[in-house]
Chain A
Amino acid sequence: MSGGIIDPTKSRSTVTAAGTDASRPEQLRDLRVGLLENGKRNAAQVLDAVGHVLAERHGTGPLVPLIKKQFAMPLPDDLVDELLAGCDVVVIGVGDCGSCSASAVADGIRLEQAGLPAAVICTDAFETTSQAMAELKGDQAYPFILTEHPIANLTGEQIAQRAGGLAERVAERLLVGRPASEAA
């Protein structure tokens, strides 16, 4: 095995308020939607499909695809800056391994604290690591969206079907923030 264990808990950002989300928009119409994919197989395809469903159903504005090149690492500061400057909301995913699911949650929390509404998608096989990271970041109730594991082997048609269901949960997360019933 190559590289050591990378710690997505480490970041240069300053944690300001655990459990605090960014303020929510009243609607998604015309908003710029960041699609922050982690380079895992099918992650970009899933986020792109979700983005297009959001555009169809909610009239969102431009989709802004971005990639985090090291899936297990915290978001680099320059990418945070790019997201803050170029997006109104962001969808992060897909956390489908131990470190990348934890890292996706850490990234979501960081962006929320920086003022950018974020929806984080992880697969259900890694709910535990996602939740553990939320707790480690002091935000036990951080809502992340779970989808069935795996996604790496999905066909284009299956991704489109998956995106249809995910998009509404993403929209709810971006608009409502923390619903009483969290993602399942």
Chain B
Amino acid sequence: MTQNVDDSAAVDAALQQFRDMLANDGYLLTWSKSGEDQVVVQVEAGPDACADCLVPQPVMEAIMSEALEATPYRLDHVVLPAGEH
């Protein structure tokens, strides 16, 4: 698979509502490609991030995996803020 603008836009669109959701708790969501057809989602804490408000990794990965079903990509894994597991 070759990445193209449409594919990236599809991932952006698929993750937008979760970007907005995490922003409500002060977190920033970004993503990057991993291999040919996988995506790594990264969650970073902003300066005003709500401690303890982040959902646990299994819930986060379930959410992101489902969101990416509408794209050509599948979830590789979610990277949570440093020190959080």
B-contacting residues of A (Cβ < 8 Å)? 1-9, 70-72, 97-100, 102, 125-126, 128-129, 132-133, 135-136, 149-150
B17 within 8 A of A: yes
**For residue B18, which residues in chain A have a CB less than 8 angstroms away from its CB?**
128
Partner of A1, one of B51, B57, B58: B51
Q: How many A-B residue pairs have CB under 8 A?
A: 78
Instruction: From B49, B52, B54, B85, name the one whose CB has the most chain A CB atoms within 10 angstroms.
Output: B52
Minimal Cβ-Cβ distance residue in B for A70: B52
**Given A1-B45, A98-B22, A149-B24, A129 and B52 contact (CB-CB distance below 8 Å):** no
Whether A128 lies near B58 (C-beta < 8 A) is: no
A-contacting residues of B (Cβ < 8 Å)? 17-18, 20-22, 24-25, 45, 49-59, 62-63, 66, 80-81, 83-85
Instruction: From A3, A98, A99, A136, name the one whose CB has the most chain B CB atoms within 10 angstroms.
Output: A98
Given A98-B53, A132-B59, A132-B62, 7 additional A-B pairs, CB 8 A: A1-B83, A4-B84, A5-B84, A71-B52, A98-B22, A102-B55, A133-B59
Partner of A99, one of B53, B62, B83: B53
Whether B17 lies near A5 (C-beta < 8 A) is: no
**Given A98-B25, A126-B21, A3 and B59 contact (CB-CB distance below 8 Å):** no
9 contacts between A and B (CB under 8 A): A1-B45, A1-B51, A1-B84, A2-B52, A72-B52, A125-B24, A126-B24, A132-B63, A150-B24
**For residue A71, which residues in chain B have a CB less than 8 angstroms away from its CB?**
52
Minimal Cβ-Cβ distance residue in A for B45: A1
**Given A129-B63, A132-B62, A135-B62, A100 and B53 contact (CB-CB distance below 8 Å):** yes
Whether A1 lies near B24 (C-beta < 8 A) is: no
Whether A97 lies near B25 (C-beta < 8 A) is: yes
Inter-chain CA distance A5–B81, complex, in Å, is 10
**Given A4-B84, A129-B59, A132-B62, A99 and B21 contact (CB-CB distance below 8 Å):** no
Inter-chain CA distance A97–B49, complex, in Å, is 11
Partner of A98, one of B21, B58, B84: B21
Minimal Cβ-Cβ distance residue in B for A127: B21
Inter-chain CA distance A99–B50, complex, in Å, is 10
* Nearest CB of B to A10, in Å: 9
* Nearest CB of A to B84, in Å: 5
